[in-house]
Amino acid sequence: MLVEYREFPSTLTVYMSAQMYDALNDFVAAGQLAPTDLFDRFLAWGRRGLNSPDE
């Protein structure tokens, strides 16, 4: 995904934010607590990868 969204990193952030909130709603609907690392799973990895000079 990092390669696909390289030209438009903000679009990747918006897309992954929407996915994160969908996942959060799934946890709430199931009566479960969301994992504490939900942000890292959906958003933090993309920021690290987009800032990497190696790609």
Give the tens place of pLDDT for each residue, 7-18.
988 898 999 999
Contacts with 3 (C-beta within 8 Å, 6 or more apart), sequence order: 55
- How many other CB atoms sit within 10 Å of the CB of residue 11? 11
Residue 30 lies in a domain: yes
Residue 2 lies in a domain: no
> Alpha helices, DSSP H only, in the chain?
9-29, 38-39, 45-50
Q: Supply the range of the domain harboring residue 30.
A: 9-50
Residue 25 lies in a domain: yes
What is the count of structural domains for the chain?
A: 1
Find the angle CA(18)-CA(39)-CA(30) to the nearest 5 degrees: 70
| 51 band by pLDDT with thresholds 50, 70 and 90 | low
Residue 29 lies in a domain: yes
